[in-house]
């Protein structure tokens, strides 16, 4: 099991990693880390402890480089333990000497012997120690990349049965379920469509409705309400769904 502080730090690191430009929850996202001074906002854990944090705007490029390294590590953590360990070792080497400290409750933790003031160095050390703990606990496979289509978000699977596959940020689980539901329905339509036109159309209405319901379920209340009021919109999406299904069936 990962300790609570380690889980919190790893989760914070995913926020740092997901600041990179790329596909996020089906949408292209721009660079969000445009100045080194944003680091304490992205990773509040950097301000733990009593050594003052120094954040320079010029740290941006070094932060980007660290982010790329950690993103790569995240991608291979579950697949290639040897490579992941090597990457963690490199981070540990940069962290330098370590020491054991006990907190007020007597819980013992490893920290850098000298807490770096520089934000990127401190983030490197934080990542190195959190990842080392994950490796020691046999939990590296909890570091994942979202399985949602067009989503590169990273995540830490803290679930009991290690079943988390989608990020929380972008409704990815719901998007993917709707998509596979439609694909299955399109296949079913293909089987029944050939002999009779009418039943196929009727059958086409149902899945689009059900799919729209699934979407509404996962959406914020506001949007669901809007859909209820605006009958046109839901008809439109129904048509769209049907059109899509037909197109696939062709």
Applying CB under 5 A, which residues contact Zn ion?
25, 146, 148, 151, 153, 167, 170, 172
Compute the C-alpha angle 56/57/63, nearest 5°: 85
Q: Which of 46/170 has CB closer to Zn ion? A: 170
> Minimum CB separation from Zn ion for residue 170, in Å?
5
Rounded to whole angstroms, the Cα distance separating 93 from 87 reads: 10
Shortest distance (Å) from residue 32 CB to Zn ion:
16
Closer to Zn ion at the Cβ: 175 or 182?
175
- DSSP-assigned states of every residue in 29-96: E-----SGGGHHHH-GGGG-SSSPPB--GGGHHHHHHHHHHHHHHHHHHTT-HHHHHHHHHHHHHHH-
* Minimum distance, C-beta of residue 226 to Zn ion, in the bound complex (Å): 24
- The whole-angstrom separation of Cα 222 and Cα 155 is 27
Ramachandran angles phi, psi of 227, nearest 5°: -65, -40
In the complex, the smallest distance separating the C-beta of residue 18 from Zn ion, rounded to whole angstroms, is 9
Taking the least distance from each CB to Zn ion, the nearer of 25 and 241 is 25
Tell me the closest approach of the beta carbon of residue 220 to Zn ion, in angstroms.
Answer: 17
Q: Which residue's CB is nearer to Zn ion, number 116 or number 148?
A: 148
- Is 170 or 208 the residue whose CB approaches Zn ion more closely? 170
Residue 96 near residue 121, CB atoms below 8 Å: no
């Amino acid at each position: 099991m990962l300790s609570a502080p380690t889980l919190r730090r790893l989760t914070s690191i995913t926020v740092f990693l997901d600041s990179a430009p790329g596909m996020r929850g089906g949408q292209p996202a721009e660079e969000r880390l445009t100045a080194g001074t944003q680091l304490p906002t992205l990773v509040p854990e950097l301000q733990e402890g009593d050594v003052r944090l120094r954040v320079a705007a010029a740290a941006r490029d070094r932060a980007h480089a660290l982010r790329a390294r950690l993103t790569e590590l995240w991608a291979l953590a579950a697949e290639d333990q040897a490579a992941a360990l090597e990457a963690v070792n490199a981070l540990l080497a940069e962290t330098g000497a370590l020491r054991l400290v006990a907190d007020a409750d007597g819980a013992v933790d490893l920290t850098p012997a000298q807490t770096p003031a520089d934000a990127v160095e401190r983030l490197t050390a934080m990542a190195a120690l959190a990842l080392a703990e994950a490796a020691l606990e046999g939990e590296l496979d909890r570091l994942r990349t979202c399985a949602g289509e067009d989503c590169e978000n990273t995540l830490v699977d803290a679930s009991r049965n290690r079943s988390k596959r989608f990020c929380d940020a972008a409704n990815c689980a719901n998007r993917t379920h709707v998509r596979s539901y439609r694909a299955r329905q399109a296949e079913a339509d293909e089987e029944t469509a050939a002999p009779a036109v009418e039943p196929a159309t009727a059958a086409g209405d149902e899945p689009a409705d059900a799919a729209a319901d699934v979407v509404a379920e996962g959406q914020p209340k506001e949007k669901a309400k809007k859909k209820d009021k605006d009958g046109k919109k839901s008809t439109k999406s129904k048509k769209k769904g049907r059109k899509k299904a037909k197109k696939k069936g062709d």
